[in-house]
Amino acid sequence: MTGDVVVTGMGVVSPAGVGLDDFHAAQLSGRSAVRGLSRYDCAGDPVRIAGEVDLPPDLTMSRRDALRTDRCSQLVAAAADLAVAHAKLDLDAVDRTRAGVVIGSGMGGASTWEASCQALQRDGAAAVRARTIPMSMPNDPAASLSVRYGTTGPCTAVGTACASSADALVAAFQMIATGEADLVLAGGAEAPIVRTVVIGFSRLGALAEDNAEPARASRPFDAGRRGFVIAEAAAVLVLESAAHAAARGAQVHARFAGFGRSSDAYHTTMPHPDGSGAATAIMAVLRHSGAAAADVAFVNAHGTGTQLNDAAEAAALRATLPGVPVTATKSITGHPLGAAGAVEAVATVQALAGGLVPPTANLDDPDPALGLDVVCGGPRRVSGDLALSNSFAFGGHNVVLAFARAA
Amino acid sequence: MDRSHALTRVRTVLADELGLPAEEITPAANLREDLGMDSLDLVELVTSLEEQVGRRVPREQLESVHTIDDVVDLVLILAELDLPDQRAA
């Protein structure tokens, strides 16, 4: 249909690989990329593990640019460059006034903010960098992409914690579906391996502390799960109207079939224990994409590895999509907070395109109380043309995306 | 502090803190056109120099700063040296 929104390009920088090929191979390997935390001195801290991105030199900013750009915006620039290349998108050949950007981030430039707070406390006001605000504001990843590519259409940012980039993809869908834009660079970025952030999550009791066995720490849906592992990442998708994609001869990798959203209206950090908010969003995505439960080939779960998330998510899945195969990307990448939705959208599109659902790492002892069919041990071949990707967040935000195999 | 000492300070801040290539930081270099600096770069440069000498520059004074030489003048003023004599020396 000409009103469809399609995916014509994807770029990802993650702890489990930079670029689509490495990321896909890492998914299928079922090996966790979580490792010892190296971005700051964490000796003596309760959490000393993380999912860290190793950017190759060709995607690393010059020292000059890096000094002016928070890690969060550095990661999104790398992901966006990969996405634009994958889409074979020549921005000189499109109407830039109809090209938009939406990037979600939970924390924005947290490392810049922390450094400025420390400088202020240590040395006073004169030690605070003039770039503190522009580098740390949560819309900088989006704004900096608009400057980078010269897109002058709508440019906005979304901050809904761990649902940020799923919400960003929804916002982009709406821009295209309502005719505001022809194409949108949409996704998320997070660079939360910052001591204050890691310790903050740790104080909430949300983080796994398996410091001696980093690769075993992220265990979504396992009976022995003890929390999530914080990670950094960015992913950008090139979304276009089907008509625009066809007119420029772009290859379509998937159709963005729809979305469903809800709010728990329950608690800031706890999901509703019966999963009703998540279930509402799953029912909504099926309605919006005109699909039935039986059409869903698999679900890329939010699957963080916290007791509460996995229990509530499982309840929602049992109620709405009983028996559907489920996989948890965060077992391999760790949890990149606001970037997770976009990273997992990429994983979902890749799995759908290949008909192969990646395994969930570290699922040695599936929690019998959850009643889920979690893919583990190796990739599983599935048929079917539709897949869902769940993102849930502190604040009670529930966002579920649906992607359909390209026709 | 003499002129060459001041220039060295400016060059060090620009290279170390703002990542500019040291070889491009010549006295005649224009901050915007030759070095690609923007207004925030200038503020960060001056803030760093202020910290070193322990004095503040009125921000309106930055409007007349266009070249590395102008920045060096500013450093010498901050250091309370008699500028014309230093130039003559």
Where do the structural domains in chain B lie, given as residue ranges? 3-88
DSSP A89-140: --GGGS-GGGEEEEEE-SSSSHHHHHHHHHHHHHH-GGGS-TTHHHHH-TTH
Q: Residues 68 to 87 of A: which have CB under 8 A from any B CB?
A: 68
Task: Identify whether residues A329 and A192 lie together within a single domain.
Answer: no
pLDDT digits (tens), chain A, 407 positions? 458 999 999 999 999 999 999 999 999 999 999 999 999 999 999 999 999 999 999 999 999 999 999 999 999 999 999 999 999 999 999 999 999 999 999 999 999 999 999 999 999 988 899 999 999 999 999 999 999 999 999 999 999 999 999 999 999 999 999 999 999 999 999 999 999 999 999 999 999 999 999 999 999 999 999 999 999 999 999 999 999 999 999 999 999 999 999 999 999 999 999 999 999 999 999 999 999 999 999 999 999 999 999 999 999 999 999 999 999 999 999 999 999 999 999 999 999 999 999 999 999 999 999 999 999 999 999 999 999 999 999 999 999 999 999 98
Q: Residues 17 to 36 of B: which have CB under 8 A from any A CB?
A: 17-20
CB-CB contact of A81 with A59 (8 Å): yes
* A252, part of any domain: no
SS3 A270: coil
Report CA A28 to chain centroid distance, whole Å. Answer: 18
Residues of chain A found within 8 Å of residue B18, distances taken between Cβ atoms:
64, 67
Number of domains in chain A: 2
B23-68 per-position pLDDT tens digit? 999 999 999 999 999 999 999 999 888 888 888 888 888 889 999 9
Bridge partner residues of A346 (DSSP): none
Residues of chain A found within 8 Å of residue B41, distances taken between Cβ atoms:
68
Which of B37, B41, B57 is best to mutate for the A interface (most A CBs within 10 A)? B41
Report CA A35 to chain centroid distance, whole Å. Answer: 19
Give the closest of A64, A126, A131 to B20, CB-based.
A64
Task: Identify whether residues A243 and A341 lie together within a single domain.
Answer: no
Quote ipTM for the complex.
Answer: 0.82
Task: Identify whether residues A13 and A79 lie together within a single domain.
Answer: yes
Q: Which CATH class is domain B3-88?
A: mainly alpha
Task: Identify whether residues A168 and A285 lie together within a single domain.
Answer: no
Question: B18 vs A64: CB contact, 8 Å cut-off?
Answer: yes
Task: Identify whether residues A75 and A202 lie together within a single domain.
Answer: yes
Question: B19 vs A126: CB contact, 8 Å cut-off?
Answer: no
B23: CB partners within 8 A, 6+ apart: none
Calculate ∠ Cα A19-A360-A29, nearest 5°.
Answer: 50
Residues of chain B found within 8 Å of residue A65, distances taken between Cβ atoms:
19
CB-CB contact of A191 with A55 (8 Å): no
Closest-CA distance of chain A to residue B88, Å: 33
Q: How far apart are the first and last CA of chain B?
A: 12
A342-384 per-position pLDDT tens digit? 999 999 999 999 999 999 999 999 999 999 999 999 999 999 9
Task: Identify whether residues A230 and A304 lie together within a single domain.
Answer: no
SS3 A202: helix
**Closest chain A residue to the Cα of B14, Cα to Cα:** A64
Domain region containing A102: 5-247
Closest-CA distance of chain B to residue A110, Å: 20
Question: Which residues of A form the catalytic set?
Answer: 162, 302, 335
CATH number for the domain including A286?
Answer: 3.40.47.10
Bridge partner residues of A403 (DSSP): A256, A387
**Closest chain B residue to the Cα of A124, Cα to Cα:** B51
